Structure 1
Amino acid sequence: MTSPLHIVCPHCHTTNRVAAADLASAPDCGRCHQPLFGGHSVALDGASFERHVGRSGIPVLVDFWAPWCGPCRMMAPAFEQAAAQLEPQVRLAKLDTEAEPALGARFCIRSIPTLALFRGGREIARQAGAMGAADIVRWTRAQLARAA
């Protein structure tokens, strides 16, 4: 028997234990009873970033962006489409570098949008520049396969 995965709720940010075999069966949060996966990205702040990236048993793809960035706004719908395709194997999250400049500096974000893929709390891949949904999905899957 495999140990359960830690899945952080996108609504209340509580860490839940979910068997890997149960990921596809739409598990709910044990605390707030909301779905753990809804096919959408989750907006993160400093505290929730640490929870989602540091405690997640699945990879987390973070879009570092800012509201004033045209390419970031153009990529937002594609990022949401990618979330619908990659969940529940990957959590997609967005971090506003304007609201959280310390995190942008900590990860040396030099241009936006930048996608950073985390597994087990560690960054395993990074891609700068706007991408379409199919490219986001393809790039993420390729990076996970390479890091396996």
Structure 2
Amino acid sequence: MNEKTYEEEMSERVEIKLVCLKCQTLNKIIDASPAETSVCEKCGLPLLTGRVGELTTTFFAETIENTNLPVVVNFWTSWCGHCRNFESVFAEAASELKLQALLFRVETEEEPELVRQFAMMTTPTQVVFRGGKEVARQTGVSQLPLLMEWLKPHLS
């Protein structure tokens, strides 16, 4: 008999931390529960929706620092044609990566503090964060295959 002790089983479990897109509550998911059906412990909404979330200065740091999945942020501007064209590509990437990364967007005209903090010079710009730190950045519009190829080394 090669049965594992409770302590051995617990040490092998992976804990995923996710910030709810709606209420910004930090949730912990243990790998024993299916991540794709996990809901926020506060508001009850699904945590991994496969949709692009909105980030503001208020919850930006908490989100990128407390989520242990990669966080991909698209800095965009509502009047930018390239930004609007890229929205569907980014949304499709969010759907495809729903268990591997969290995708958000930041409207640069509404969040000037984040623009200054991350020295945004042009839109659209995508930034990948891991453990609260910027690990990659690309500027300009990309088609889905190019975006996915760029993201591949940064995914869980």
TM-score by length of 2: 0.87
Q: Take 1:61 and 1:5, find their aligned partners in 2: how far apart are those partners? A: 16
Which among 30, 52, 58 is matched to residue 47 of structure 1?
58
> Percent sequence identity over matched residues?
33
Query: Amino acid of the residue matched to residue 109 of structure 2?
Result: E
Bigger radius of gyration: 2
Query: Amino acid of the residue matched to residue 50 of structure 1?
Result: A
1:11 aligns with 2:22: yes
Query: Amino acid of the residue matched to residue 89 of structure 1?
Result: Q
Q: Are the counterparts in 2 of residues 6 and 18 from structure 1 also a CA contact under 8 Å? A: yes
1:111 aligns with 2:118: no
Q: Take 1:3 and 1:106, find their aligned partners in 2: how far apart are those partners? A: 32
Q: What's the secondary structure of 1:76's corresponding residue?
A: helix
Q: Are the counterparts in 1 of residues 35 and 48 from structure 2 also a CA contact under 8 Å? A: no
Runs of 5+ consecutive residues of structure 1 not aligned to the other structure: none
Aligned alpha-carbon RMSD (Å): 1.6
TM-score by length of 1: 0.91
Q: Deviations over 1:59-114 (max 9, x none)?
A: 10000011011100000011000000111210000001100011011101111100
Superposition deviation, residue 24 in structure 1 = 4.0
1:129 aligns with 2:122: no
Counterpart position of 1:91? 102
1:67 aligns with 2:67: no
Number of residue-to-residue matches in the alignment? 145
* Segments ≥4 residues shifted beyond 6 Å: none
Q: Are the counterparts in 2 of residues 86 and 137 from structure 1 also a CA contact under 8 Å? A: no
Runs of 5+ consecutive residues of structure 2 not aligned to the other structure: 1-10
Q: What's the secondary structure of 2:138's corresponding residue?
A: strand
Q: Are the counterparts in 2 of residues 61 and 115 from structure 1 also a CA contact under 8 Å? A: yes
Superposition deviation, residue 115 in structure 1 = 0.3
